[in-house]
Amino acid sequence: MISKRRDDKGRVLQQGEWQEPSGRYRYKYTDSLGKRKILYSWRLTESDKMPEGRRADASLREKERKVQSLQMQGITGSKLTVIELVERYLSLKTGVKHNTLANYNFVVNVLKKEEFSHKKVDDVKLSDAKIFLIKLQRDGRGYSSIHSIRGVLRPAFQMAVDDDLILKNPFGFELGTILVNDSQKREAVSLEDEARFLEFVKNDPHYNRYYDAFYILFKTGLRISEFCGLTVRDLDFKNEVIRIDHQLQRTRDMKYEIVSTKTTSGTRLLPMEEDVKDAFLRILKNRKKTKKEPTVDGYGGFLFLDKNGNPMVALHWEKYMQHAREKYNKEHLLQLPLITPHICRHSYCTNMANSGMNPKTLQYLMGHSDVSVTLNIYTHTGYDDAKKELARLKEAKKELDKNRFVTQKHAQITHESLIS
Catalytic-role residue among 223, 246, 316, 325: 223
Reply yes or no on whether 196 is catalytic. Answer: no
Give strand pairing partners of 258.
Answer: 248
Q: How far apart are CA 70 and CA 299, in angstroms?
A: 53
Of 141, 262, 268, 277, which is the active-site residue?
262
3 state SS for 302-328: ECCECCCCCECCHHHHHHHHHHHHHHH
Catalytic residue among 150, 219, 250, 345: 345
State whether residue 141 is helix, strand or coil. Answer: coil
CA-to-CA dists, residue 84 to 111, 184, 324, angstroms = 11, 33, 47
Q: Which of 168, 169, 156 is nearest to 88 (CA)?
A: 156
Query: Could you confirm whether 368 is annotated as catalytic?
Result: yes
CA distance 38 to 119: 18
| 215 counts as catalytic | no
Residues 6+ apart with CB under 8 A from 319: none
d(CA 44, CA 61): 6
- Of 61, 316, 325, 368, catalytic: 368
15 DSSP 8-state letter: T
Alpha-carbon span 283 to 285, nearest angstrom: 5
Catalytic-labelled residue, pool 79, 119, 154, 342: 342
Catalytic: 342? yes
Is 402 a residue of the active site? Answer: no
Alpha carbons 223 and 210: distance in angstroms, whole number: 17
Q: Are 131 and 137 a contacting pair, CB within 8 Å?
A: no
Active-site residue, 378 included: yes
Catalytic residues: 223, 262, 342, 345, 368, 378
